[in-house]
């Protein structure tokens, strides 16, 4: 029965997340057009509302082109694995209305996020392209650098809420006082959120000016669609996760999702060496210090 319960819980989440993901792409294009004083997609239906479906149909009907020197198995498994991991995260969707709670949900989320970087490096390595491989290596280095402060930050917020269950954190609205204590951790989390999703200004794995298109340069049709879907599903879930960790309420997730779009349209790409410096010399000491501080406070107060 537990398996059937999990499936019944996961399917609605998957359907709604895919619908939200398709219209997030439209929202991003409209937002960028507004910030750049131009028109966005407006030819498909009324105000371009069916543009995501048109884009999906176009990509699905394109011919899949695979370089002769690439590894066919890896180029197939990498996009499938990335999309599967992104969809699996939605099993942890924090809501008090779901059938079951996941007591170790935050721990499972850390494992999923850590696994995704391996799929990206396989996606770049399997194509046997120098641009794709460099983009994949950058992603691996970036993920390793930012996973440590990310895990420490999650431990910090879960310690304040006394739980690893995201649904339980979502219900602890009485923890709003923590804003006065964790402003540095909040700023740290916002940087980590952008770095973990490989978004501007930390989009080094897809640097168009340096790597053509990064690790996905040799992908097309359905495989390319899977990579893009994985990226935008991660943005949606990270927005929800940020809302739960920082505000103990899922209702503010749109604020953090909008932050992704605002930063992409207003900031240039960061320097790679400065990104690594920020991770190891700023974020890691900050998160470690605050995590140790909250641990000492809890042990002192009992």
Task: Encode pLDDT of 63-106 as tens digits.
Answer: 888 888 888 888 899 999 999 999 989 888 887 665 566 788 88
Q: Over 50: is that where the pLDDT of 1 sits? A: no
Q: Choose the weakest-confidence range: 104-118, 201-215, 224-238.
A: 201-215
pLDDT reported for residue 31: 93
Predicted TM-score (pTM) of the model is: 0.90
Q: Over 70: is that where the pLDDT of 128 sits? A: yes
Q: What is the largest CA-CA distance in the chain?
A: 64
pLDDT reported for residue 287: 92
| Residue 259 near residue 153 (C-beta atoms within 8 A) | no
User: Mean pLDDT, the chain, as a whole number?
Assistant: 84
The candidate with the shortest Cα–Cα distance to 189, out of 94, 280, 268, 287, is 287
pLDDT digits (tens, 9 = 90+) for 247-288: 877 778 889 999 999 998 888 888 888 989 999 999 999 999
pLDDT reported for residue 101: 67
More confident site: 150 or 6: 150
Q: In sequence order, what DSSP letters do the residues of 16-75 get, joined into one string?
A: HHHHHHHHHHHHHHHHHHHHTTS--S-SSSSTTTTHHHHHHHHHHHSPP---TTS-HHHH
Hey, what are 157's tokens? Answer: 């917020």
| Residue 95 near residue 167 (C-beta atoms within 8 A) | yes
Q: Which residue has the tokens 């794709």?
A: 132
Q: Where exactly are the structural domains of the chain?
A: 58-301
pLDDT reported for residue 29: 92
pLDDT reported for residue 81: 93
The gap from C-alpha 66 to its chain's centroid, in whole angstroms, comes to: 27
CA gap 31, 262 in Å, rounded: 8
């Amino acid at each position: 029965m537990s398996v059937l319960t999990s499936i019944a819980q996961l399917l609605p989440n998957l359907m709604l997340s895919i619908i939200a993901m398709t219209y997030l792409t439209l929202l991003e294009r409209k937002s960028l057009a507004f910030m750049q004083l131009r028109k966005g997609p407006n030819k498909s239906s009324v105000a371009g509302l069916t543009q995501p479906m048109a884009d999906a149909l176009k990509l699905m009907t394109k011919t899949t082109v695979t370089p002769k020197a690439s590894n066919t198995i890896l180029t197939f498994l990498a996009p499938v694995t990335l999309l599967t991991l992104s969809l699996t995260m939605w099993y942890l969707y924090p809501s008090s209305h779901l059938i079951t709670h996941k007591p170790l949900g935050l721990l499972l989320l850390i494992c999923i996020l850590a696994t995704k970087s391996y799929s990206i490096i396989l996606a770049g390595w399997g194509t046997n392209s120098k641009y794709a491989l460099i983009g994949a290596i950058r992603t691996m280095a970036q993920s390793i650098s930012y996973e440590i402060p990310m895990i420490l930050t999650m431990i910090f917020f879960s310690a304040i809420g006394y739980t690893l269950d995201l649904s339980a954190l979502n219900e602890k609205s009485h923890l709003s006082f923590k804003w006065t204590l964790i402003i540095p951790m909040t700023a740290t989390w916002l940087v980590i959120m952008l770095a973990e999703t490989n978004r501007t200004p930390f989009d080094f794995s897809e640097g168009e000016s340096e790597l053509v298109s990064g690790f996905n340069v040799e992908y097309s049709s359905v495989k390319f669609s899977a990579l893009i879907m994985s990226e935008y599903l991660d943005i949606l879930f990270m927005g929800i996760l940020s809302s739960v960790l920082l505000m103990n309420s899922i209702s503010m997730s749109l604020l953090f999702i909008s932050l992704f779009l605002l930063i992409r349209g207003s900031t240039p790409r960061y320097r790679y060496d400065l990104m690594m410096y920020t991770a190891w010399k700023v974020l890691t000491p900050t998160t470690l210090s605050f995590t140790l501080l909250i641990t000492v406070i809890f042990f002192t107060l009992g």
